[in-house]
Amino acid sequence: MAEILRSDTMNAPLHREIPAAVLDDAKALSCATAKWDSDIVPELTHYVTIPAKSPGFDANWEAHGHIETVLRNAASWVEAQKVPGLSLEVLRLPGRTPLLFFEVAATRPASAQTVLMYGHLDKQPEFTGWRKDLGPWTPKLEDGKLYGRGAADDGYAVYASIAAVQALKAQNVPHPRIVGIVETCEESGSFDLLPYIDALRTRLGDVALVICMDSGAGNYDQLWLTTSLRGMASGTLKVEVLTEGVHSGDASGLVPSSFRILRQVLDRLEDSNTGRLLPASFHCEVPPERLAQARATAAILGDEVVQRFPWAHYDCEGAARFMLPTTADPVQALLNRTWIPALSITGAEGFPAIADAGNVLRPYTAFKLSLRLPPLVDAAQAVQQMKALLEDNAPYQARVTFESGANATGWNAPATAPWFEQALQAASQAHFGAPCGYIGQGGTIPLMRMLERGFPKSQMMVCGVLGPKSNAHGPNEFLHVPYAKKLTAAVARVITQLP
């Protein structure tokens, strides 16, 4: 593995005074706030301008150089912080996206445990529908929100991680060894990450706490711990009936519609009336603890569980009317987006633009399928079942193919250790004045399952800034800066509590 050493301050002068035993939360928040205002917001503002799309959305990512740019910028910023005891490298494996790895030496006497901090710098594509004065690559800071693609998901993580360490250093609070992994392939399913984890395994050490700030928040009023993540089985379903388009007046009624066949095939997978996935193997039982947490979270959030999304509306005879969710019950709504499988069509091919659509029977229809799986369902098995279900016995003997895309099994958090529970509650009370909330997320972070298998005894602090309306992956994505400041200080607090 080729390595480029960017910074090595392992031999820089460390604090020699007798370390403080307890972190002053007010000072930690003040330190984090100052760092965000002076350094991090400007850095992220520039980061937004760079279209560092993940390899799954930019096949020529290496030639375009955007991923290299954001990684180098982050490395240069970390290097410039001159954090005592920190070393940093850009790691490269042949044919793979690069990865940033940093290490901060322990200052706690006889500490053998490691804290692993995670983030990613690659981004989702532009998408449409941005507000007229906003855009994916045109940052705008407005009412404490930094708009633009990627800052909240998850470009801020490396900066917040270092700021949390700086909050500890500023008070000379002893801490365990800390390492950081910042990848550039997460939005494509982290297919490059496992080889790096394998290469770094001996260097990671005894990981006792994982901090991943790539997740969401139920609101902006308290700390939120992610308790589960859905998996994903994705791919492209294509139905071909002709070698070229033909006059619809000549062929329709004789040549079956590729779209109609595709609808029939999808009916094998999903009940179009209810959205329920039909294969029983795509479902799993919700663990009692997660069900209890969903009820508690529903009591906190109420209607916000549903209202957090930008629902479409229309006027009918002068009355404003809004789209209805699949359920108005907050508990069921939480379960639907975390423990129930769901199919989305996220892209299509074979369709001309409406303005260009003549009377032509199209030769094929292709849909990109994104199937979110419950945390305990194996993604590889689901993909195999999907392929057989969709391809076998095609109507009219049409050519039906399903090509698998990015897939990952979900994750269910391990049991919470008493010290971790106490640390979360203390951090949330200190910086938000409210208890820590527990919530499952509908997205996928492949790293979490990898790390749980590699470090089964570690605690997982999966958290993030993606709260109501933040709209990661969509238009008008924003980073809630005031929340990020408090989250940074809360992370510093939790690190100090590792036994």
Q: What is the mean pLDDT of residues 388-406?
A: 96
Residue 439: domain span:
2-229+411-496
Proportion of the chain above pLDDT 90, given as a percent:
86
Q: Measuring CA to CA, which residue among 51, 61, 77, 131 is closest to residue 478?
A: 131
Lowest mean pLDDT among 2-16, 125-139, 389-403, 476-490: 2-16
Peptide bond into 192 cis (omega under 30): no
* Contact between residue 373 and residue 233 where contact means Cβ atoms under 8 Å apart: yes
pLDDT of residue 11: 43
**Residue 81, pLDDT above cutoff 70:** yes
Which residue, of 408, 434, 467, is where some domain finishes? 408
Q: Measuring CA to CA, which residue among 389, 154, 147, 141 is closest to residue 281?
A: 389
- List the CATH number of the domain containing 222: 3.40.630.10
Q: Are residues 289 and 348 in the same domain?
A: yes
Q: Are residues 255 and 389 in the same domain?
A: yes
Question: Of all residues in the chain, what percent are helix, strand and coil, respectively (each to 5)?
Answer: 35, 25, 40
* Max mean pLDDT range (9-13, 169-173, 190-194): 169-173
Split at pLDDT 50, 70, 90, the class of 5 is very low
* Average pLDDT across the chain, whole number: 93
Which residue, of 361, 390, 408, is where some domain finishes? 408
**Residue 256, pLDDT above cutoff 80:** yes
**Residue 211, pLDDT above cutoff 50:** yes
pTM beyond cutoff 0.95? no
Q: Are residues 264 and 219 in the same domain?
A: no
6 φ/ψ sector (left φ>0, alpha ψ -120 to 50, else beta): alpha
Tokens for 409? 């099994």
Q: Are residues 86 and 121 in the same domain?
A: yes
463 φ/ψ sector (left φ>0, alpha ψ -120 to 50, else beta): beta
Q: How far is CA 483 from the centre of its chain?
A: 17
pLDDT of residue 316: 56
Query: Cβ neighbours of residue 271 under 8 Å, at least 6 residues apart?
Result: 277, 278
In whole angstroms, how far apart are CA 272 and each of 266, 298, 389? 9, 27, 16
Q: Are residues 201 and 272 in the same domain?
A: no
Question: In this predicted model, which residue has the larger pLDDT, 252 or 454?
Answer: 252
Q: Are residues 275 and 129 in the same domain?
A: no
pLDDT (tens digit per residue) in 62-76: 999 999 999 999 999
CA–CA dist 443, 478 (Å, integer): 17
**Residue 239, pLDDT above cutoff 90:** yes
Tokens for 23? 């972190």
Split at pLDDT 50, 70, 90, the class of 349 is very high
pLDDT (tens digit per residue) in 264-321: 999 999 999 999 999 999 999 999 999 999 999 999 999 999 888 888 876 555 555 6
pLDDT (tens digit per residue) in 15-45: 333 344 589 999 999 999 999 999 999 999 9
pLDDT of residue 319: 57
* Contact between residue 351 and residue 362 where contact means Cβ atoms under 8 Å apart: yes
**Residue 6, pLDDT above cutoff 90:** no
**Residue 362, pLDDT above cutoff 90:** yes
Q: Are residues 429 and 347 in the same domain?
A: no
Question: In this predicted model, which residue has the larger pLDDT, 9 or 193?
Answer: 193
pLDDT of residue 168: 98
Tokens for 73? 């910028």
Q: Are residues 435 and 361 in the same domain?
A: no
Look at the chain and report how many structural domains it folds into: 2
pLDDT of residue 235: 96
According to DSSP H, which parts of 59-137 are helical?
61-64, 66-80
Q: What is the mean pLDDT of residues 449-455?
A: 85
- List the CATH number of the domain containing 267: 3.30.70.360
Sort 253 into a burial class: Cβ within 10 Å, 0-12 / 13-18 / 19+: exposed
Q: Are residues 332 and 442 in the same domain?
A: no
Q: Are residues 163 and 239 in the same domain?
A: no
Which residue, of 340, 373, 408, is where some domain finishes? 408
Q: List residues bridging with 320 in a β-sheet.
A: 315
Q: Are residues 385 and 466 in the same domain?
A: no
Q: Are residues 314 and 422 in the same domain?
A: no
Backbone φ and ψ for 64, nearest 5 degrees, come out as -70, -30
pLDDT of residue 20: 42
Split at pLDDT 50, 70, 90, the class of 454 is confident
Split at pLDDT 50, 70, 90, the class of 111 is confident
Q: What is the mean pLDDT of residues 339-365?
A: 96
